[in-house]
Structure 1
Amino acid sequence: MVQSKNWTPELEGLRGFASLWVLLGHICLLTQCRIPLLYDPGLGVDLFILLSGYLMAKNYQDRQEKEPWHSVNTWRMFWLRRFFRIAPLYYLLLIFALVFGGWFGEMRTIIASAWPTTATLASRYADHSLMNVASHLTFVFGFIPDYSYRTVLPDWSIGLEMQYYLLFPFIMLIIMRFGFAISSVMLMLFCLAARWLLPDYFDAFPMPSMILIKLPFFIAGMLISQAIRHQKIYYLALALLAPVIAWQMRIAENHLRLIVECLLIISMTGLLWKPEKNTRFSQLAHYPRYLLTRPISLFLGDVSYSVYLLHLMIVIPVIGLLVHATAFSHLPSPVRFLVVSGICLPVTYLIAFFLYHRVEKPGIALGKRVISREPVQPQSLMP
């Protein structure tokens, strides 16, 4: 990951544990091992979203003097950075997901034969239609309910992320016009209003891949950045509106998720807050910061994107083959979880390590070279 001069290593550790949460959460789901919180990998995705909102707002403000918000060139450079961060690895794994989609669907059917509650429409993995391929190559699939959840990759959140990147410069223009607090509340309320004005459209999504469903959490991450930048709890309080708005939107939300999402926002803010030295708060924050900045945590952060995109292509075949060839489904659920974790974690992280160095980093470097050739004169759309 490209690091800014104010980069904090805790963020990489958080990213690493968020991806591990999603990986283990999917193992829990597909082996029917109901470990509290871990059984909901969507919470790990929410943590990713908070981190994304935080980093985009922080880096955009850090670069404001060199890259003015109202400049078209700033927008172009921002979009190019994000495209080359996301697209190279995504396109590579998308090819594998489409080519071997039928086999992944068969494995998914075998898993469902053991645990019917895990069943999904297996044919969605093998959709080679022009519309499905084109919508994924252009990242517009997240807007289209029928194609938003159509490969073995957990790419519904990738489409969501790209929608956020598309909107982000315009969100910052709104913030420049109305201020951070008012703009954030207005945007979250707009999402809530859209939910009730377009209920059929929102309900049609099998996963929350459309930006208005999750935009409040991206904004919450941005508010965390503002709270830390200005050392004001006020912005943290506004960030806590996001889970409440999500709960009111009634899309895969319940009271437990509401509480956990609030705790994620508070914990992330406390972790990144810069307290005075030798205070009780600084002592409390020392231990999680120490954990998140260990070499293993930073490694998990480095490969987190590869792990996130890749892991289902490892987990689903491993479980499917175990169910098909052994008495795996009759084992106690904790044993099933441990067996699959013991096989999938080393394989996933080994491949992810290779992809990080051979695909992600070269992709980022290519993006830098493209950006370096961009014109430097700002082209403003504002007087």
Structure 2
Amino acid sequence: MRGEIKSLTGLRIVAAVWVVLFHFRPLLRDAMPGFRDALAPVLNCGAQGVDLFFMLSGFVLTWNYLDRMGESWSTRATLHFLWLRLARVWPVYLVTLHLAALWVIFTLHVGHVPWQDFSGFNAISYVRQVLLVQLWFQPFFDGSSWDGPAWSISAEWLAYLLFGVLVLVIFRLANATRARSLLWLAVAASLPPVVLLLVTGQFYTPWSWLPRIVMQFTAGALVAAAVSRLRPSDRGRRAAGYASLLLIAAVVGLLYLFDAHPLHGVTDTAGLVDVLFVPLVMTLAIGTGSLPAALSVRPLVFGGQVSFCVYMVHELVHTAWIWTAEQFQLDLLGSDGKWIVLGLLAIIFALSSALYLIVEEPARRWMRRMVGDGRRRAEPEAEVHPSSGKLQSIDGAHEGRVTPRSARAG
């Protein structure tokens, strides 16, 4: 029986915070230089949190839709799936898009420091933004979206459009291939961005966003297919939990190692840690123990639920502070700087929680009801509790219900 894997939900807020702190590095450098320098190898590669998001997205969608959409093509089911995906991301996306536009208008008429570049704010760009296709027309994601992080949502929308075909392939692979082989295929699928990095020496190259979204999303889908076929014992689940902890340590250790000893000719060596995301997601999905349990606690699960809002809001808060600092000649030096940065982070999480409760969830339910998929009171869904293997009730899995399917051990 499929259901929410809470440790992966908790992992989402970790990825979101990683991205937030990546963008906040200049502020941390001024306000908390010791903290920033100590964590520099981790903070400097926070962009890899987006790749982790892509992989988690592929996993979650395949985990929930493999049986419903994988057996045979259905135009109706595919369109229904796409509408439900819009219901998940579009409301918050549209709100932050228009907040970004309002912010530009505000800076045009208030103060003496207008915001940086307005050339991308035009009618054609607006239509592309609303339709989630703005990234598809340019090789670099910088400047593609009015709300900076929204480029990845445009990339995700491409993955959603491809999912109807991808799930057909994954379904057949899952029924013809052992779980071990599916995991190796997932590793192979995650490698093209890494190979491109080794060839070019940079992670950010023309059209590099395309293999990132397509291959990491596919890798996550293959991991989900593999996990659906695994039937680990309690001992195996404990071993997976220990392995997930070791993998986190390996990711952090490699980031420090690559920072101290970068590969010759490769400027973004830290991007190589992406190859560890496949085993990390797999071990967290099936594992028990300290790390899966820690990521499954209620505050982190709620953080994972609001992580999309955190991701979409944080750069608006960041740029608002930059403009305010320039306008009033403020700085973050001294003890007050720490409190300002902590206050900005608190504002991000407060706004994100409000956006989740006031916009994301109500709008999602409303859009689901439009296609007859809104339930006045959602029936409890079932989750396989890792420590016992028993079905336990959870409140509202995110992507809907799927039918049980026999899982064959790989």
TM-score in terms of structure 1 length: 0.71
- Residue aligned with 1:41, SS: coil
For the pair 1:268 / 2:281, whether they are aligned, the reply is yes
Counterpart in the other structure of 1:216: 215
SS of aligned partner of 1:6: coil
Q: What amino acid does structure 2 have at the position aligned with 1:85?
A: R
Match of 1:20 in 2: 17
**What secondary structure sits across from 1:47 in the alignment?**
helix
Conservation of the 8 A alpha-carbon contact between 1:10 and 1:292: yes
What is the deviation of 1:255?
3.0
How has the CA–CA distance of structure 1 residues 370 and 328 changed in structure 2, closer, same or farther, with 3 Å as cutoff?
Answer: same
Distance in 1, matches of 2:356 and 2:172, equals 39
1:57 Cα deviation after fit:
1.1
Contact 1:153 1:310 in 2 (8 A): no
Q: Name 1:249's counterpart in structure 2.
A: none
Note if contact 1:105-1:123 (Cα within 8 Å) is conserved in structure 2: no
Q: Which amino acid aligns with 1:300?
A: G
Distance 1:88 1:320, change over 3 A: same
For the structure 1 residues 343 and 262, does the alpha-carbon distance in structure 2 shift closer, same or farther, using more than 3 Å as the test? same
Further displaced range: 320-329 or 211-220? 320-329
Q: Select between 94-103 and 305-314 the one with higher mean Cα deviation.
A: 94-103
1:169 deviation in Å? 0.7
2:152 maps to 1:157: yes
Equivalent-residue separation in structure 1 for 2:104 and 2:60 (angstroms): 34
Distance 1:187 1:167, change over 3 A: farther
2: CA distance between counterparts of 1:132 and 1:321?
26
Deviation, structure 1 residue 321: 2.5
Q: Which residue of 2 aligns with 1:129?
A: 122
Cα 1:189–1:31 shift into 2, 3 Å: closer
Letter in 1 for 2:268: N
Structure 2 CA distance for partners of 1:287 and 1:60, relative to 1, 3 Å: same
User: What amino acid does structure 2 have at the position aligned with 1:25?
Assistant: F
Give 5+ residue unaligned stretches, structure 1. 111-120, 196-201, 237-251, 275-284, 375-383
Residues 236-285 of structure 1 show CA distances to partners (whole Å, capped at 9, x for unaligned) of: 9xxxxxxxxxxxxxxx9833221x212332222211125xxxxxxxxxx4
User: Are residues 1:86 and 2:89 paired?
Assistant: yes
2:289 counterpart of 1:296: no
Residue aligning to 1:353: 353
- Please list the CA deviations of residues 171-191 of structure 1 after superposition, one character each: whole Å capped at 9, or x if unmatched: 123345666759879977999
5 Å-filtered alignment, 1:41-80, equals 41-64=46-69, 68-80=71-83
- Residue 145 of structure 1 corresponds to which residue in structure 2? 138
Point out where structure 2 has 5 or more consecutive residues left out of the alignment. Answer: 30-35, 198-203, 233-239, 241-265, 375-410
Q: Residues 253 and 80 (structure 1 numbering): CA distance in 2 closer, same or farther, change over 3 Å?
A: farther
> What SS is found at the alignment partner of 2:3?
coil
2:225 maps to amino acid: Q
Deviates more, 1:144-153 or 1:216-225: 144-153
Q: Which amino acid aligns with 2:88?
A: R
Tell me which residue corresponds to 1:282.
none
Whose helix proportion is higher, 1 or 2? 1
**CA–CA distance in structure 2, aligned partners of residues 295 and 188 of structure 1:** 30
**Cα pair 1:13 1:300 within 8 Å, conserved:** yes
Question: Aligned partner of 2:91: which letter?
Answer: P
Check conservation: 1:184, 1:219, Cα contact below 8 A. Answer: yes
Distance across 1 between alignment mates of 2:312 and 2:325? 22
SS in 2 for 1:142: helix
Q: Which position in structure 1 is the counterpart of 2:381?
A: none
Deviation at 1:304, TM superposition (A): 0.9
Equivalenced residue count is 320
Q: Distance in 2 between matches of 1:268 and 1:192?
A: 18
Q: State the distance in 2 between where 1:166 and 1:130 align.
A: 24
Distance change in 2, residues 1:261/1:147 (3 Å):
closer
Q: 1:151 to 1:122 in 2, by over 3 A?
A: same
> Residue 91 of structure 1: CA displacement?
0.9
Deviation (angstroms), 1:213: 3.8
CA-CA distance at 1:103 after TM superposition: 5.6
- 1:343-382 → structure 2 map (5 Å cutoff): 343-372=343-372
Q: Give yes or no for contact 1:94–1:153 (8 Å, CA) kept in 2.
A: no
Three-state SS of the structure 2 residue aligned to 1:123 is coil
Deviation at 1:204, TM superposition (A): 3.9
The alignment's TM-score, normalised by the length of structure 2, stands at: 0.67
Structure 1 match to 2:310:
307
| Distance of 1:190 and 1:146 partners within structure 2 | 17
Residue 146 of structure 1 deviates from its aligned partner by: 7.4
Change (3 A) 1:296 1:184: closer
Listed one character per residue, the Cα deviations across residues 31-81 of structure 1 (whole Å, up to 9, x for unaligned) are 5445221222211111111110101111112435xx854111110111011
Q: Could you tell me which amino acid in structure 2 is paired with residue 21 of structure 1? A: W
Match of 2:44 among 19, 39, 46: 39
Percent identity of the aligned residues? 23
Look up the SS of the partner of 1:300 in the other structure. helix
Task: Decide whether the 8 Å contact of 1:81 with 1:368 is kept in 2.
Answer: yes
Measured in 1, the distance between the counterparts of 2:302 and 2:194 equals 38
Deviations 1:198-249 (A, max 9, x none): xxxx9445xx54x33431111111122122222399xx9xxxxxxxxxxxxx
The aligned amino acid for 1:347 is I
SS of structure 2 residue aligned to 1:372: coil
Q: Which residue in the other structure is 2:168 paired with?
A: 173
Q: Separation in 2 of the partners of 1:51 and 1:357?
A: 22
Change (3 A) 1:170 1:312: same
Change (3 A) 1:147 1:24: closer
Distance in structure 2 (CA, Å) of the matches to 1:25 and 1:147: 19
